[in-house]
Structure 1
């Protein structure tokens, strides 16, 4: 399917951000003007309280215009990368971003040198919004370098992000999948739909056709991952961290104790429940051999579940009704105001995300195919977008961006509320089995799968830090080893499974995946409170944005992510859901 074959109401409306090219050019020009003004302030950022306020507000405005341009250009390329103007806009916006990174590298150093004066300014109510950002900056003092080295790090920043940019730009073409004698289009977006097909040859062919392409470009992907990790390790060393992991955790105000706790709970303490789940699947399916391409095959029969995008919005509104009337009205706006780009088509990026910026709608990209996963994904991304909406409408731009550390909480709350609603509103035994089975899949993917990915990510960075050789075979062999331990004896691991390590986009980011598990555990705690009628603390959390540290935001909302009990409850919940399904079966 091509984009022009999709009804307009099912595509996002980016004209709400920029109605035409001239508007984009004007915003980029304002970003450049703001950047020039900031550079001209060098040496005088904190001479007086008024100088300091002027700097903070000018920087906020410059970043606001630049973010608009970057978001618009990236989203345009995600759906129509072949349009030259889209790629030109992206290049132009990223050029200004890099100029800002290098041109303003002096700012943090100068502000730190003026700490004593700034501390006095912050006592004034006119500077109250700057207190948390400045406290975060001053927290980095032990990891700051002199002006010359800061400038050097800023200048090589583009090199360090090159692997992720190359991965984002890389578009592969896969051999089609033969289904009932007809060729069907295979892409990263449509791949999952083939894994639901009852014919094992269709599933195997989709798996093979996808991952043989990753194998073909294995050396290139290995270099991307290696280059990304090297950049993270180099930056950590320069900033006096013991490891890239420590540097990443520091940014969220977390420590390795929390990280290790999450991985231990999933990979060790509650490992047996995961293996029991995969053995249960194999038994229910009656498979002599169970491969990874069989793991989405439904084992609940005689349930015809499909949803239109309209039906999905209706179900989600009802499921999230406990969050209140305002939340429900926003869900309706999301549908009517075209926040969502719904369907897969040629050249559209795969997967799903919630995006936008402070001055735009909280847009969503998804590749809706009408199955349960599509419904759940829509609810998930709407959770992100509601979080963004509440934060952006409550906080000024300087304080509206929430950290990745808490980003998965709101999305996962939506998923759990959706599943609970579907279970509560149906007496159909088969349908309840179906929902429980899908809930288990979500829990496995979030509570268990992500810590397995985190282990791979940690290992990759450790290899670089220990100056060990990193080749494609080193990475794929280790991923196969992890997969065997992850799935247990009930799942056969094919050779191509190793190349899945190149398929996971988060490996080109920085220690993100464990936060899915943390988010799920925290979300389950919030859902208990929400279903008991305690909604105010949760909505207050959604409105915090980046006005507090991530851990403080959660603690103030009544859930402490450092507590063992949060994770014990989450993994016990998984065991309970598995038990419920076994009893129904």
Structure 2
């Protein structure tokens, strides 16, 4: 449909950001002036405590306005990309953001130079809000370089980002897939749909056509992976870290032991549950030779249950009611105040996200179809939005943004609570099996697949740190080995799967995938407590924003991501879900 055809109440209202183009233009001019004023105070940030406080507050005000400009412009282009005013706004906002990043590089360097003076300022109560941000900045001092070297490293990092930028720019073309005698288009989006086709010839052909193209460019992809890892290793060595992995984990305040724990739990201690899952799937689907291109088949066929938007709202209010009356009031506000842009429309971007600023509503973009997936996605994105809602209302701007380390916790908690509610209130066995199968697939993709990926990331960087010779064969051999360990005896891992690491975008930037596993494991721990009537610690977690280190936020809410128990409970949850599914099969 065209966007103008959608009912206005199902489109988002961005007026909490800017009510008019004139308001946007006025903020743009104001932000440009604020940036110039900040730059004029270079070398005098910490002259006195009053000057120091005023600078940080002015910088906070500038960043707040700049974020409003960029988020508004980007969200407008996400739904109406051909509107030239939207494109112009985005160009202006992006340009100012890039200029600010360059012009304000002096700030952290100057603050570090005067760390002793600032530490004295921080002892005063009026500087209380600045303590955590400054502690985080000063924590980097052992890994900071001279001003000249910092400038050089910033330029090196621009070069180091080339592998990721190059990967993003590659557009492979694939041979068509024949379905019912007709040739159909194959690309990254349609590939997974073909893998769910009930015809094995369609699945096999899609798999072969897809990965043979990556095989043709295997040396190029290998060089990009190696180039990215070399950039991370160079940065780590220059900044005096023990490894690239240690450098990456430093930002989250954790060490390699957490990373290794997640790998051990998913790749070793509980791998037998995964092998049992694939064996069960092979049996249920009744496939004698269960190949890797068969694993995407639905364990339980999708039901024909459909939901209206109002029905989704009612279900979510009941499912999430355990989180408190004010949480449900927030969900009501999301609908009444038009936080959500629901329906797909011509040129609107695909997928879903939650986004906003300190001053705006926590908006949600969706492509709602009325399916179970749409209901689940709405629960997921509302989890993000309510996390932002509470964080922004309990913290000033500089302390409101929660880190990526904990970003997927709230969204996953909502999904678990929704699924538990649907299971407890439905008597339809097929529907309940479908819900359980989705839960298991989500867990497999998050808590098993990601640790397998994370092992490869660690291997690749370690090879470079040890100065081993690496070729595409080194990578593809390891890919096959890890995949065969992952799938176990039930699944035939075809040789073309050796190119399977080349199309994973996360491998072209820096150690990220382990955070998916951590987020889901923590969310399962929270959900368990919530369902037992103890939602208070989780509610406190939602208010923390970025006011503490992410590990401290979780620990203060009763979930320690460094403990074995979090992961033991998560993998036990998976085994119990599998048992519940099997029980329904036997009935």
Q: TM-score, normalised by structure 2?
A: 0.89
Summarize the Cα distance change of 1:311–1:5 in structure 2 as closer, same or farther, 3 Å threshold.
Answer: same
Aligned length: 585
Q: Deviations over 1:350-404 (max 9, x none)?
A: 5443222222332333444544334323322221121111111221110011111
Distance 1:545 1:425 in 2: 34
**1:402 counterpart residue number:** 402
1:199 maps to which residue? Answer: 199
Aligned to 1:289: 289
Cα 1:195/1:74, change in 2 over 3 Å: farther
2:388 corresponding residue in structure 1: 388
Give 1:581's aligned residue. 581
Task: Work out the CA distance in 2 between the residues paired with 1:568 and 1:178.
Answer: 45
Contact 2:302 2:434 in 1 (8 A): no
The CA distance in 2 between the partners of 1:365 and 1:503, in whole Å, is 26
Q: Deviations over 1:255-285 (max 9, x none)?
A: 1111100110000111111111001100110
The more displaced of 404-413 and 221-230 is 221-230
**CA deviation vs aligned residue, 1:38-71 (integer Å, no higher than 9, x gap):** 2221111111011111111122122222223333
Distance change in 2, residues 1:496/1:25 (3 Å): farther
Partners of 1:62 and 1:496 lie apart in 2 by 51
Structure 1 residue 228: Cα displacement = 3.7
| Residue in structure 2 matched with residue 236 of structure 1 by the alignment | 236
- Tell me the equivalent position of 2:412: 412
CA displacement 1:459-492 (0-9 Å, x = unmatched): 3333443445566555444333322221112223
CA distance in 2, matches of 1:128, 1:113: 20
SS in 1 for 2:407: helix
Provide the rounded CA distance (Å) in 2 between the counterparts of 1:314 and 1:291.
41
CA distance in 2, matches of 1:535, 1:477: 47
Aligned to 1:258: 258
Is 1:542–2:538 an aligned residue pair?
no
- Equivalents in 2 of 1:235, 1:18: separation in Å? 40
1:436 has 2:422 as partner: no
Task: Give the aligned partner of residue 62 of structure 1.
Answer: 62
* Matches of 1:364 and 1:393, distance apart in 2: 18
Distance change (3 Å), C-alpha of 1:267 and 1:247: same
CA distance in 2, matches of 1:21, 1:351: 27
- Given the superposition, is the C-alpha separation of residues 456 and 550 from structure 1 closer, same or farther in structure 2, using an over 3 Å criterion? same
Change in Cα spacing, 1:215 to 1:91, as seen in structure 2 (3 Å) is: farther
Report the CA distance shift for 1:247/1:191 in structure 2 as closer, same or farther (over 3 A).
same
Aligned to 2:304: 304
Structure 1 segment 503-582 matched on structure 2, within 5 A: 503-582=503-582
Going from structure 1 to structure 2, the CA distance change for 1:363 and 1:136 (only over 3 Å counts) comes to: same
Where 2:408 maps in the other structure, the secondary structure is: helix
Tell me whether 204-213 or 96-105 shows the greater mean CA deviation: 204-213
| Structure 2 unaligned regions, length at least 5 | none
Q: 1:374 to 1:468 in 2, by over 3 A?
A: farther
TM-score (normalised: structure 1): 0.89
- Are the counterparts in 2 of residues 188 and 351 from structure 1 also a CA contact under 8 Å? no
| Separation in structure 1 between the aligned mates of residue 481 and residue 3 of structure 2, nearest angstrom | 41
Are positions 1:71 and 2:71 aligned together?
yes
For the Cα contact (< 8 Å) 1:189–1:351, is it kept in 2? no
Distance of aligned partners of 1:347 and 1:169 in 2 relative to their CA distance in 1, 3 Å threshold: farther
CA distance in 2 between counterparts of 1:222 and 1:21 reads 47
Change (3 A) 1:494 1:427: same
